[in-house]
């Protein structure tokens, strides 16, 4: 584990750090590497390029932990417009096997934190998005946030998924509960995006050491591969990608029966290599002006990105 990770994730809550990053010319290129733009038109341009290269997309309108009803409503409105814009894009270069277009949503952006009614509001908003997405031929996957939201998020998905079988769930391998969650989702034949997990979590709920997280990832992946679920291998880790390829071969899964998923701007060469050998590759593309929490999680994952970060903090 990167020793600076807790400090960087703590900085995710700092207004001063956020102001510095937002105004410093040093950090602008770093932000652009991970977030192609703040507007929908910038997002559409990036998505068009990815689709033309044969990679599917999952688009995230950035925002999280909303405590304001108007903001949650605005997020829903933006997603509805986004689904419209995505549906107009040319997807002919993406291989068959799954919808080339998808949106990723955080329930905390859709109202989950709006007091006691929050979970119900977020669930209803998720249903609104799924209804629109179904009309447009776009799929939806629900992101996984910090562990205090896990039970509520999985409950919302359980409620909505019977009407939208393609509704995807994200599982974080670092949580102790995740192997059991994978078993439940595998039994239901769900689409499951398996990632390591990006939040700072206590040892009461999550593995703390890289080797333990990697082992847990492989246990979860094995459960999914052996089932009728669709495993969505969300990792840039070469060892896990190779293991996924082996497990898929052993389970008799062809290229259209699982997905390799990576974040925009990370290991683009590997995305292209996998797509080139006929795999279904999906790139998670975030956009919007609420990029700060997302960027902090990317910095915490990768010590090499810290140089930019520290320079930004010391640039007047
Ligand atoms: P690991 O962190 O070990 O990285 C392996 C290699 O990938 C590194 O050595 C480096 O080469 C490259 N790399 C990884 N991160 C990098 C970075 N930031 N910058 C540059 N290079 C980098 N998490 C979560 O908690 N909830 C969620 O909903 C999601 N959703 C999600 C969707 C998709 C499609 C992906 C790919 C990931 C997520 N994540 C997530 C994030 C995930 O939990 C995890 O934090 C990151 O993917 C990093 O873990 P890796 O598996 O890539 O391995």
Tokens, residue 190: 């769900």
pLDDT of res. 305: 72
Q: Within a domain: residue 203?
A: yes
Residue 76 lies in a domain: yes
Task: Supply the pLDDT for residue 10.
Answer: 67
pLDDT at 316: 44
Q: Note whether residue 43 is domain-resident.
A: yes
- 19: Cβ below 6 Å to ligand 1? no
Q: Is residue 22 part of a domain?
A: no
Q: Is residue 27 part of a domain?
A: no
- Expressed in angstroms and rounded, the spacing between residue 298 Cα and the centre of ligand 1 is 7
Nearest atom of ligand 1 to the alpha carbon of 199: 25
pLDDT in tens, the chain (316 residues): 566 677 666 666 666 766 676 666 667 777 888 999 999 999 999 999 999 999 999 999 999 999 999 999 999 999 999 999 999 999 999 999 999 999 999 999 999 999 999 999 999 999 999 999 999 999 999 999 999 999 999 999 999 999 999 999 999 999 999 999 999 999 999 999 999 999 999 999 999 999 999 999 999 999 999 999 999 999 999 999 999 999 999 999 988 899 999 999 999 999 999 999 999 999 999 999 998 889 888 888 876 776 666 665 555 4
Q: 238 is in which domain, residue-wise?
A: 36-290
Cβ pair 223, 244 in contact under 8 A: no
The interaxial angle of helices 118-136 and 69-87, nearest 10 deg, is: 10
Q: Is 177 in the pocket of ligand 1 (CB under 6 A)?
A: no
Pick the closest to residue 138 from 98, 169, 95, 97 (CA basis): 98
Which of 301, 302, 303, 307 has most ligand 1 atoms within 8 Å of CB, for mutation?
Answer: 301
Tokens representing 220 are 């979860």
Q: Answer whether 106 contacts ligand 1 (Cβ < 6 A).
A: no
Closest C-alpha residue for ligand 1 atom 13: 236
Is residue 306, in this structure, part of any structural domain at all? Answer: no
**Which of the residues are catalytic?**
143, 193
- Establish if 15 belongs to a structural domain: no
When divided into structural domains, the chain yields a total of 1
Give the closest residue (by CA) to ligand 1 atom 43: 197
Task: Give CA–CA dist 280/243, Å, rounded.
Answer: 16
Instruction: State ipTM.
Output: 0.97
User: Residue 256's domain is classified under what CATH number?
Assistant: 3.20.20.220
Residue nearest to ligand 1 atom 5, measured at CA: 237
9 lines ligand 1 (CB under 6 A): no
Distance CA 204, CA 232 (A): 27
- 26 in any annotated domain: no
């Amino acid at each position: 584990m990167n020793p600076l990770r807790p400090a960087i994730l703590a900085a995710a809550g700092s207004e001063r750090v956020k102001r510095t990053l937002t105004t410093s010319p040093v950090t602008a290129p770093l932000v652009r590497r991970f977030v192609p733009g703040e507007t929908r038109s910038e997002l559409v341009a990036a998505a068009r390029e990815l689709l033309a290269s044969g990679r599917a997309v999952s688009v995230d309108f950035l925002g999280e932990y909303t405590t304001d009803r108007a903001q949650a409503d605005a997020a829903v409105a933006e997603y509805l417009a986004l689904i419209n814009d995505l549906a107009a894009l040319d997807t002919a270069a993406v291989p068959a096997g799954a919808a080339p277009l998808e949106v990723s949503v955080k329930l905390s952006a859709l109202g989950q934190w709006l007091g006691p009614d929050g979970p119900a509001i977020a669930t209803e908003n998720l249903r609104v998005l799924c209804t629109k997405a179904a009309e447009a031929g776009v799929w939806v996957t629900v992101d996984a946030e910090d562990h205090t939201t896990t039970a509520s998020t999985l409950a919302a998905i359980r409620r909505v998924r019977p009407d939208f079988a393609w509704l995807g769930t994200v599982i974080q391998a670092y949580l102790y509960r995740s192997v059991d969650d994978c078993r439940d989702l595998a039994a239901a034949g769900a689409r499951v995006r398996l990632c390591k997990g990006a939040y700072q979590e206590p040892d009461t709920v999550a593995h703390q050491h890289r080797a333990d997280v990697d082992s847990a990832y492989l246990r979860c992946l094995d459960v999914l591969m052996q089932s009728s679920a669709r495993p969505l291998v969300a990792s840039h880790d070469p060892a896990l990608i190779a293991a996924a390829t082996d497990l898929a071969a052993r389970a008799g899964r062809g290229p259209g029966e699982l997905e390799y998923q990576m974040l925009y701007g990370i290991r683009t060469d590997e995305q292209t290599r996998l797509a080139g050998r006929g795999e279904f590759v999906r790139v998670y593309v975030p956009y919007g002006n609420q990029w700060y929490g997302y960027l902090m999680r990317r910095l915490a994952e990768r010590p090499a990105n810290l140089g930019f970060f520290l320079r930004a903090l010391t640039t007047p």
